[in-house]
């Protein structure tokens, strides 16, 4: 068995090589995963690799992006993929197999012949490109479910550098994993990393349980896992946001006039249009809240911003139709000449406007059915006026719930108790709002994006690189 004793002080490190499917061209959009990686690389220097626009033919190797957006702090490059690979790897295996499976929706799996082969081909191409440049002292940081096979391919190619994976989405339920045609491969894919980073302790428990089913995996007394003569660790690193920056954006933002009646409360939701975000349940719960109103009660407005995503995947077309129907029937039942209870906006809205709307809204509804973390919950907290803050209604099923138990936690499937929580949020006395917000704010500011980057990379640095002779 190899010795992977953690070393207390990092020795000389090589460069940081980051891989993510998305890579920004030009200005880095504030917020979200891409911004987090930009921040990490600006601090540490290194190389960021992401997918090129699909083309007819794909060659091996990397193509530098020279847009000046990194300000010289780090380099960017793309790997190529064909149109056909894009369909099989990205729309197919990543977003029609892994995404639904990892979000506890095996019923939505679309297993299509050839998709896994495209995924494997892209993962191998990425691994070959990295193997051509990686030095043993480098740190390789792989992001998300698009690249689960890259580390194994790198090890096959003899790469001994330290490799970390961060999975931004939940880990699947151990039973659901059986629906993956490549179920037997999942454990060796994960075991090829040194650190497998997940969002929450709940995810670590699910991953450990899944790995335990592999007879070749051993759980060691020090908490490490061992497989095939090497050790690795599965740990949680809950992602954060640039809380200072977001709070400043919210303070400076002047959101558009929404023309609500005097004193009428505003609730807000901001999500990509995705079945994992629980939008239909949220609309129905708000409908339930409305149906309990007495005639003279305040006319609350719920503003849901949800731009379309992944519209080439059929499950996303279905959710769009279902949501439009729900909004139509709830508004039909409750709207008046001068009041539309649900305002559903599919248009892209700029982040600084969103920040101002968060600050303007008395309540945020962040109620996914499954979510790795959910950054909107943290952004809403950062955007509030601490002296008169709004109330966060948060689903138990968002990874963020593990850190944010001072929010009003709800079960999004139970529309009645969700409606109760909306009522509680809208009527919460100011002192309670201030106390809950202060607790939430402390966590969001302390465990921010810089903290997340620091703890992940320092953990990866502490791994002793594998000796060259092992391969």
* Binding residue (CB under 6 A) for ligand ADQ from 13, 14, 22, 33: 33
Residue 257: Cβ within 10 Å count: 6
| Radius of gyration for the chain, computed over Cα atoms and rounded to the nearest angstrom | 23
Q: Which residues have a Cβ under 8 Å from the Cβ of 26 and sit 6 or more positions away?
A: 67, 69
Residue found by looking up tokens 């917000």 in the block: 437
The widest CA-to-CA distance across the chain, in whole angstroms, is: 78
Q: Which stretch binds ligand ADQ (CB under 6 A): 31-39, 78-86, 435-443, 448-456?
A: 31-39
User: Nearest Cα to 259, choosing from 348, 338, 366?
Assistant: 338
Of 265, 237, 361, the residue nearest 305 (C-alpha): 361
Question: Whose Cβ is closer to ligand ADQ: residue 23's or residue 375's?
Answer: 375
Candidate residues 13, 22, 32, 226; the one interacting with ligand ADQ per rule CB under 6 A: 32
> Closer CB to ligand ADQ, residue 50 or residue 465?
50
Least CB distance to ligand ADQ at residue 376 (A):
5
- x/- letters, 348..387, toward ligand ADQ (CB under 6 A): xx-x--x----------------xxxxxx--x--------
**Choices 52-60, 266-274, 414-422, 447-455 (CB under 6 A): range interacting with ligand ADQ:** 266-274
Q: Which two tokens stand for residue 36?
A: 């987090």
Tell me the closest approach of the beta carbon of residue 54 to ligand ADQ, in angstroms.
Answer: 21
User: Out of 38, 104, 146, 168, which one is annotated catalytic?
Assistant: 168
- Number of alpha carbons in the 13 Å side-chain half-sphere of residue 259: 4
Work out whether 401 is an interface residue with ligand ADQ (CB under 6 A).
no
Among 58, 270, 319, 449, the residue binding ligand ADQ under the rule CB under 6 A is 270
Indicate whether 31 belongs to the interface with ligand ADQ (CB under 6 A).
yes
At closest approach, how far in Å is the CB of 55 from ligand ADQ? 26
Q: Does 108 bind ligand ADQ (CB under 6 A)?
A: no
Separation in Å, CA 127 to CA 3, 140, 150, 248, 365? 25, 11, 5, 40, 40
Nearer to ligand ADQ, 288 or 379 (CB): 379
Let me know: does 12 contact 460? Beta carbons within 8 Å. Answer: no
28 binds ligand ADQ (CB under 6 A): no
465 binds ligand ADQ (CB under 6 A): no
Residue 307 sits in the site that holds ligand ADQ (CB under 6 A)? yes
Q: How far is the CB of 204 from ligand ADQ (least distance, A)?
A: 15
Provide the CB-side half-sphere exposure for 456 (13 A, CA). 34
d(CA 417, CA 288): 10
| Ranges within 153-212 binding ligand ADQ (CB under 6 A) | 168-169
Pick from 383, 163, 426: nearest CA to 293: 426
Going by C-alpha positions, the residue among 117, 138, 136, 150 that lies closest to residue 50 is: 150
119/171 with CB nearer ligand ADQ: 171
Count residues binding ligand ADQ (CB under 6 A). 22
- Cα dihedral value 214, 219, 223, 228, nearest 10: -70
Query: Is 371 known to be catalytic?
Result: yes
For ligand ADQ, the closer CB: 58 or 239? 239
**Across-strand partners of 79?**
51, 62
Q: How far is the CB of 151 from ligand ADQ (least distance, A)?
A: 19
Question: Residues 115, 138, 242, 371: which is the catalytic one?
Answer: 371
Residue span binding ligand ADQ (CB under 6 A) among the ranges 111-119, 267-275, 295-303, 328-336: 267-275
Out of 271, 288, 447, 448, which residue is the one contacting ligand ADQ (CB under 6 A)?
A: 271
Three-class SS state of 451 = helix
Contacts 24+ apart (CB under 8 A), 62-65: 62/129, 62/133, 65/23, 65/25
Find, among 444, 355, 434, the residue nearest to 388 by Cα. 434
Distance in Å, CB of 346 to ligand ADQ, minimum: 9
Q: Is 227 helix (H, G, I), strand (E, B) or coil?
A: strand
Minimum CB separation of residue 63 from ligand ADQ in Å reads: 26
Please tell me the distance from the alpha carbon of residue 101 to that of residue 111, in angstroms, as a whole number: 11
User: Among residues 167 and 192, whose Cβ is nearest to ligand ADQ?
Assistant: 167
Work out whether 305 is an interface residue with ligand ADQ (CB under 6 A). Answer: yes
Considering only residues 311-340, where is the footprint of ligand ADQ by CB under 6 A? none
d(CA 163, CA 140): 5
| Catalytic residue IDs | 168, 371
Binding-site ranges for ligand ADQ (CB under 6 A): 31-33, 168-169, 239, 270-272, 305, 307, 348-349, 351, 354, 371-376, 379
């Amino acid at each position: 068995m190899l010795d992977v004793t953690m070393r207390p002080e990092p020795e000389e490190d090589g460069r940081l090589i980051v891989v993510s499917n998305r890579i920004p061209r030009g200005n880095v959009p504030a917020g979200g995963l891409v911004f987090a990686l930009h921040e990490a690389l600006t601090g540490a220097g290194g190389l960021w690799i992401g997918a090129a626009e699909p083309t007819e033919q794909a060659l091996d190797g990397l193509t530098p992006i020279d847009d000046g957006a990194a300000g010289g702090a780090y380099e960017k490059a793309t790997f190529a993929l064909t149109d056909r690979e894009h369909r099989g790897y990205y729309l197919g295996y990543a977003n029609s197999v892994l995404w639904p499976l990892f979000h506890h929706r095996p019923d939505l799996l679309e297993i299509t012949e050839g998709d896994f082969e495209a995924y494997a081909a892209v993962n191998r191409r990425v691994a070959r490109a990295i193997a051509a440049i990686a030095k043993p002292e480098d740190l390789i940081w792989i992001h998300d479910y698009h690249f689960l096979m890259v580390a194994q391919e790198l090890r096959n190619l003899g790469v001994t550098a330290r490799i970390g994976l961060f999975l931004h989405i939940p880990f699947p339920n151990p039973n659901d994993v059986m629906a993956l045609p490549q179920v037997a491969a999942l454990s060796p894919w994960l075991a090829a990393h040194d650190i497998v980073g997940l969002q929450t302790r709940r995810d670590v428990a699910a991953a450990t349980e899944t790995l335990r089913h592999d007879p070749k995996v051993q759980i060691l007394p020090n908490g490490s896992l061992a497989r095939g003569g090497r050790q690795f660790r599965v740990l949680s690193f809950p992602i954060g946001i640039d809380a200072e920056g977001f709070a400043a954006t919210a303070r400076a933002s002047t959101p558009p006039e929404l023309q609500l009646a005097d004193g009428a409360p505003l609730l807000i939701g901001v999500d990509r249009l995705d079945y994992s975000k629980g939008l239909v349940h949220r609309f129905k719960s708000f409908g339930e809240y409305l149906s309990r109103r007495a005639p003279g009660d305040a006319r609350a407005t719920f503003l849901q911003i949800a731009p379309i995503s992944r519209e080439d995947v059929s499950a996303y077309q279905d959710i769009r139709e279902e949501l439009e129907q729900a909004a139509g029937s709830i508004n039909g039942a409750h709207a008046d000449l001068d009041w539309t209870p649900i305002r559903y906006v599919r248009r892209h809205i700029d982040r600084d406007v969103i920040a101002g709307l968060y600050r303007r809204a008395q309540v945020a509804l962040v109620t996914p059915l499954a979510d790795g973390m959910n950054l909107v919950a943290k952004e809403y907290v950062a955007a509030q006026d601490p002296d008169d803050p709004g109330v966060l209604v948060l689903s138990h099923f968002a990874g963020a719930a593990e850190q944010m138990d001072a929010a009003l936690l709800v079960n999004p499937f139970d529309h009645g108790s969700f409606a109760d929580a909306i009522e509680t949020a809208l009527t919460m006395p100011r002192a309670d709002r201030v106390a809950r917000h202060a607790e939430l704010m402390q966590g969001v500011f302390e465990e921010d994006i810089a903290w997340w980057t620091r703890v992940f990379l320092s953990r990866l640095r502490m791994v002793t690189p594998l000796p060259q002779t092992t391969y």
